[in-house]
Structure 1
Amino acid sequence: MTNTEDQYLLFLEILSESDNTTDLSYVVSNTVQLCSKKTVNQFGARFIPVFYYVNFLLSYLGNGLVLFIIYKYEKLNTVTNIFLLNLVLSNILFAFSLPFWATYHLSEWIFGMALCKMVSSAYFIGFYSSILFLTLMTFDRYLAVVHAVAAAKSRKRAYAIIASVTVWCISIVASVKELVLQNVWKSPFNGLMCDESGYPEDTMERWRLVSYYQQFLLFFLLPLFMVMYCYISITVRILSTRMKEKCRAIKLIFVIIFTFFACWTPYNIVILLRAIQISSKSEEYDSCSDSESLDYALYVTRNIAYLYCCISPVFYTFVGKKFQSHFKRLMATKIPCLKRHISLSSQSTRTTSQRTPHSAYE
């Protein structure tokens, strides 16, 4: 429940009681500022549903294609494929919730209490696990390239399964709050709402602060530092080899780091500002204009961050020669006229991959 609606309901309660009492304790000397946020809600109703539906379609097309290629051409006997499968499943789980939220922003929550809790939990479990699996895959790639000899002994199937189960457990624990606090309630402004409610406002604010700092520290700063460290180390390693196409590999690494940073940083800065706003009790900072600006920023930056969850399989699959070859084979079976050309290019790809190390970065 938002602060505006809390203030409004408190105002109605005081107004109804004021007819039957002369207690002067009801008189307040401070001005209570009510922010309707009507324009913000209208902006969200127009912008968010379209973006959510686009994200949903892109995610299911991209991740579905990767899942089909893994099923048809690969086996789950390698660490990379196990991590990739889990990343795809986490993205699909996250995207599953988007049509529900798109419909919610268009009108009100029409799916009931059980789905409110389930969709909210699936949304955050998929979101958090996607970030962690991206980080885990980056770390695994770092081990395979920088510590190839030592990693050959430890990078076994059991290691991948244990690491994947750990990621899912962390994501589920981090999302328990949604399962407990999400409820359906009737708003005087917007009808049925699926939102955090049912507890005192001080308790809700503390939980919001925990969520915001958890998001910023555990699911942004830590992954960002790990991704940057791993890819910088990989770049140094590649530069020290005689790899023929090292310039292309370094450009690819730069694109991955830049995209990760560009998609995630604005959203998490807004999250941090939102946490500071909640922590601050000064009236000067908590003005309507500041609150509305953060709401607009949150709408835009959050969807940019979510878009990365949809396009991430492209960076972690089709940039590699092996998955490019699988994709070409798949296209050859669906479009016969391309079969001869694709078979020739695939043969060339196999020859190149046999001659050069670290082919995943070529």
Structure 2
Amino acid sequence: MDNYDAYDFLEIFFSNASNDTGYSGTVVDDEVILCKKSDVVQFGAAFLPTFYYANFLMSLVGNALVLCIIYKYEKLSTVTNIFLLNLVISDLIFASSLPFWAVYHKSEWIFGRGLCKLVGSCYSIGFNSSILFLTLMTFDRYLAVVHAITAAKRRRVTYAFMSSIVVWVFSILASIKDIVFHDVMDGGEGLLCEMTGYHQKFLTKWELFGYYQQFFLFFLIPLVIVLHCYTRITIRIMFTRMREKCRAVKLIFVIVFTFFICWTPYNIVILLKAIKTSFGDQNDCSNTLDYALYVTRNFAYLYCCISPVFYTFLGKKFQNHFLKLLSKHIPCLKINVALLSTTSKTTSIRSPNTDS
């Protein structure tokens, strides 16, 4: 789970240890400083499993609903729907790791070395691709609204598929360290799934690389791009009164805004941990950042449940599709579906170029 799991708080710091592989059986000559984090670990064991299971179920249901709507009522002939499908896949990849982490936090790692590496990389790949697809969707809306004439020639299905492939490749490359360094080790009181197998200083450098990579490449830069795009979109809408297209822009804006509200505290804690690891006292066993990481990280995980809810209930088109699904089982909703269909047709006539 991106190298920051409950058992990370049982971390042992080695000072100038030679030939240290990171395994618990290694003999070192220098002083070993052990930070006892039993309170933090107990907090995680009591709170996290229930949260992870609930988050997994909500994410599974919400994203499955979006996939069902895309399959039944939409076509992958628009750029927006292609990006939306990829974003849902990103959320599902992330959510698929939660049941494993729930068991891990409750007891120990019981799933073997292969799943340790696979599950350890799912979080990273899911997060990286989610933020990139959100940024890509925002940039696509920027092109469609601010540069409508020029973008009409370029926003083709091929462009969407190629962009999606680039995002997935980049996300996987950024997660290679989790695949390589995650392994099973004996933590004394049970098996752990952590970054291990190499000299402690070497692992610390890669841990720092992961901190800064996540904060700058997958948070700060996307945030700047999103703010720039929505600033330009807002200015464009104010001068052109594009009310129909504004609905789609508002939907994506709410999704992106919610994402950054969920992830900003987490990334701030990540940055503080990076600063502490780089410049702080390694003998400092304070629990403050550990508790902060627990709370902010789990708050960030909620986004995987929130995003499909936004797709379904904030977008007019998805509301219509959702009511169509319900009307098959609740006959009294058929009248509302007919009314929404009429409204949708009226809107499509007024805004023929909207593909969202």
**Against the structure 1 CA distance between its residues 17 and 230, is the aligned structure 2 distance closer, same or farther, given a 3 Å change threshold?**
closer
Question: Residue type of the partner of 1:68?
Answer: C
Equivalent residue number for residue 23 of structure 2: none
1:303 maps to what in 2? 298
Is the CA contact 1:117–1:182 (under 8 Å) kept in the aligned structure 2?
A: yes
Tell me how far 1:243 sits from its aligned partner: 4.2
Over residues 25-50 of structure 1, what are the superposed CA-to-partner deviations in whole Å (9 max), with x where a residue is unaligned? x797xxx7532100000111112112
Mapped contact 2:244–2:350 kept (Cα < 8 A): no
Aligned amino acid, residue 287 of structure 1: D
The whole-number CA distance in structure 2 between the counterparts of 1:271 and 1:152 is: 40
CA contact (8 A) 2:138 2:252 kept: no
SS at 2:77 equivalent: coil
CA contact (8 A) 1:113 1:183 kept: yes
> 1:231·1:253 contact (CA, 8 Å) conserved in 2?
no
Which of 9, 12, 16 is 1:6 aligned to? Answer: 12
Q: Which amino acid aligns with 1:280?
A: F
Report deviation, 1:313.
3.1
**Structure 1 residue 88: Cα displacement:** 0.7
Larger helix share, 1 or 2: 1
Aligned partner of 1:6: which letter? I
Deviation at 1:357, TM superposition (A): 7.5
| Structure 2 residue matching 1:240: 3-state secondary structure | helix
Q: Unaligned regions of 5+ residues in structure 1, if any?
A: 11-15, 19-25
Are the structure 2 counterparts of residues 5 and 88 from structure 1 closer, same or farther at C-alpha, using a change threshold of 3 Å?
closer
Structure 1 CA distance, aligned partners of 2:61 and 2:305?
Answer: 9
One-letter amino acid of the structure 2 residue matched with residue 42 of structure 1? Q
**1:329 alignment partner, one of 310, 315, 324:** 324
TM-score, structure 2 length as denominator?
0.87
Task: Find the counterpart in structure 2 of residue 288 from structure 1.
Answer: 285
Partner AA of 2:138 in structure 1: T
Q: Please name the residue that 2:22 is paired with.
A: none
The answer to whether the Cα contact below 8 Å between 1:235 and 1:253 also exists between their aligned partners in 2 is no
Matches of 1:254 and 1:81, distance apart in 2: 16
Residue 116 of structure 1 aligns to which amino acid in structure 2? C
- In 2, the alpha carbon distance for the partners of 1:154 and 1:242 equals 24
- What are the within-5 Å matches in structure 2 for residues 1-362 of structure 1? 2=8, 5-6=11-12, 34-188=34-188, 190-243=189-242, 255-256=254-255, 258-282=257-281, 286-289=283-286, 292-316=287-311, 318-355=313-350
* Bigger CA radius of gyration: 1
**More relative contact order, 1 or 2 (CA 8 Å, 6+ apart):** 2
String of CA shifts for 1:154-184, please: whole Å, max 9, x gaps: 0011111110000000110011111111111
Distance 2:237 2:183 in 1: 52
Alpha-carbon contact 2:125-2:172 (below 8 Å) kept = yes
Contact kept, 8 Å, 1:97 with 1:122, in 2: the verdict is: yes
Q: Is contact 1:128–1:219 with CA below 8 Å preserved after alignment?
A: yes
The one-letter code matched in structure 2 to 1:238 is I
Match of 2:276, SS state, is helix
Distance, in Å, in 2 between the alignment partners of 1:116 and 1:47 is: 22
Match of 1:23 in 2: none
- State the SS of the aligned residue for 2:270: helix
Secondary structure at 1:183 match in 2: strand
Distance 1:280 1:351, change over 3 A: same
8 Å contact from structure 1 (residues 5, 187) kept in 2: no
Q: Which moved more, 1:313-322 or 1:268-277?
A: 313-322
Query: What SS class does the counterpart of residue 110 from structure 1 fall into?
Result: coil
Aligned residues: 342
Unaligned runs of at least 5 residues, structure 2? 1-6, 18-25
Q: Distance in 2 between matches of 1:157 and 1:247?
A: 23
Q: Alignment partner of 2:184: what SS? A: strand
RMSD after superposition: 2.9
Normalised by the size of structure 1, how large is the TM-score?
Answer: 0.86
CA offsets 1:260-299 (integer angstroms, 9 cap, x no match):
332111000000011111112535xx5222xx11111111
